[in-house]
Structure 1
Amino acid sequence: MSEWFELSEPWWHFAGRGVLTYIGLLVLMRLAGKRSFGEMSAFDVLVIVLAGGTLRTAIIGDDHSYLGAFIGVASILVTNKALGWVCTRFPWFNRLVEGMPAILVRDGRRDEAELRRQSVPDAAFNRALHAAGMEHEGSVVIARLEPNGKITFVRREDASLHGSG
């Protein structure tokens, strides 16, 4: 039973590896773009599972103790909490971490170049448009691809109620 708590390396190796893995994966996700996990498809779930399995070694190496895994996970949770704290206090840092929304439609016209740049296929855009209760983008004042990968729409009649149309 004592082998459950015998670490193969100093505890701070697991903590450091957890923090570095979190930051590295965050950078990779940012580079992958907004659409990576906006709509979780079967492919996205596979990527998550495979990334998690692959990164296990990066966090705990060859250690087989329970304690090493918990130290690694604890460091990830602390890093996540710290990053959230910093993002809420420094908007410029939050924009760096999350990114900015991308304008996909302005005044009823699709920006085809931006849709391509953001890797949003027409079929996915049309599904989001239909989910918002619209048949075509002609009734859209603005459509944004938000940093979380979701597409939001402002309808023409909604904009006039808020004084912007």
Structure 2
Amino acid sequence: MWNLSEPWWELLLRGSLVYLVLFALLRFSGKRQAGQMTPFDLLLLLIISNAVQNAMIGQDTSVLGGLIVAGVLVAWNNLLGWLTSRHRRIEALLDGRPEVLVHNGRVFEDVLARNRMSLEELQSALRREGCFDLNDVGFAVLETNGAVSVKRRTSA
């Protein structure tokens, strides 16, 4: 139960490598909040977690091995959170930047495509904010956390 079948340093290395690679893959797969995940997104996350389990832990099935890898994952998460809160360049690299989706009723299709967002998803986000017509939108911004912020057009 407590005896490691893999060296502790290998568990650290495996956990770190898997965390960083998955972070990069998910970071560049687009911005989406957990509440906006499709069933396909959820399925992908579940399958990924199962697929990388052995890559992180190897042949070790001990409680201690699992705790070491869990500690490594939490440590990386905290370190990256700390770095992004203190360095704007690192924050921009890891979290990305907000992007304008709509300006004065004009949809930027290239921004939607780059963020793997469909026009239907955008319209749904706009409706949640009370904008049922694109012409009513002054700005719609895709935030780094996947939320869409909307500012209505002002009447001139």
Is the CA contact 1:35–1:119 (under 8 Å) kept in the aligned structure 2?
no
* SS across alignment from 1:94: helix
Identify which range, 34-43 or 132-141, moves more after superposition.
Answer: 34-43
Higher relative helix content: 1
Which residue in 2 is equivalent to 1:78? Answer: 75
Amino acid at match of 1:46: L
Q: Is the counterpart of residue 68 in structure 1 residue 65 in structure 2?
A: yes
Q: Is the counterpart of residue 39 in structure 1 residue 36 in structure 2?
A: yes
Amino acid at match of 1:111: F
Amino acid at match of 2:147: K
Which residue in 1 is equivalent to 2:27? Answer: 30
1:104 counterpart (89, 101, 105): 101
Q: What is the Cα deviation at residue 74 of structure 1? A: 0.6
Which residue in 1 is equivalent to 2:121? Answer: 124
Is the CA contact 1:29–1:36 (under 8 Å) kept in the aligned structure 2?
no
Unaligned residue ranges in structure 2 (runs of 5+):
none
Cα deviation 1:73-125 (Å, max 9, x = unaligned): 11000111111111111011010001112211012211123222322111111
Q: What is the Cα deviation at residue 38 of structure 1? A: 6.7
* SS across alignment from 1:147: coil
Identify which range, 33-42 or 55-64, moves more after superposition.
Answer: 33-42
Is the CA contact 1:143–1:153 (under 8 Å) kept in the aligned structure 2?
yes
Q: Is the counterpart of residue 51 in structure 1 residue 48 in structure 2?
A: yes
Is the CA contact 1:128–1:151 (under 8 Å) kept in the aligned structure 2?
yes
Measured in 1, the distance between the counterparts of 2:15 and 2:7 equals 13
* SS across alignment from 2:84: helix
User: What TM-score, normalized to structure 2?
Assistant: 0.92
Number of equivalenced pairs: 156
* SS across alignment from 2:149: strand
Amino acid at match of 1:135: F
* SS across alignment from 1:104: strand
Which residue in 2 is equivalent to 1:13? Answer: 10
* SS across alignment from 2:140: strand
* SS across alignment from 2:28: helix
